[in-house]
Amino acid sequence: MRTINRIFIHVSDSPDTLDIGTKEITRWHSDPPPKGNGWSDIGYHGVVRRNGVLELGRPISKIGSHAKGHNSDSIGLCWVGRTVPTAVQYQSLLNATRLLMAVYGIKADQVLGHKEVDPGKSCPNLDMVKFRKDLA
């Protein structure tokens, strides 16, 4: 089993009105260019849909493809949307993150937004200071 030290939070960057899940994001990630990235699988380990349902993505036992240079020891969670998660979606994202923190012994300061390791990104379009406080 691989060592997990961090959790990265992402956003699908799709319209907030579009309810998609792992099936659609897997196509975005695995279809050959120019339609997709040409990866072997979805890059995220979990996707939280607009209705709060958590869908499993790439198995946690496998290295994700979600934060270049930071994938080997991390888990990637993605919320579907662009600007504002639904209340139930935000709560589900918190719950999934808390569970993973407990399982892997991860502290809140090791829960990061993608933009915190790649300043060129806006992802996850959340206030990560508030998100980390809400994890408590």
State the catalytic residue, choosing from 10, 29, 45, 70: 10
* C-alpha–C-alpha distance, residues 28 and 12, integer Å: 10
| Bridge pairing between strands 46-48 and 54-56 | antiparallel
Rounded Cα distance between 77 and 74, Å, is: 10
- Which entry of 29, 70, 115, 123 is annotated as an active-site residue? 123
Known catalytic membership, residue 44: yes
CA distances, 22 to each of 47, 55, 87, 118 (Å):
6, 6, 20, 23
Q: Which of 44, 66, 70, 78 is catalytic?
A: 44
C-alpha 86/C-alpha 81 separation (Å) is 9
10 is catalytic: yes
Catalytic residue among 66, 70, 114, 115: 114
Residue 114 among the catalytic residues? yes
- Mapped onto helix, strand or coil, the DSSP state of residue 107 is coil
Catalytic (active-site) positions: 10, 44, 114, 121, 123
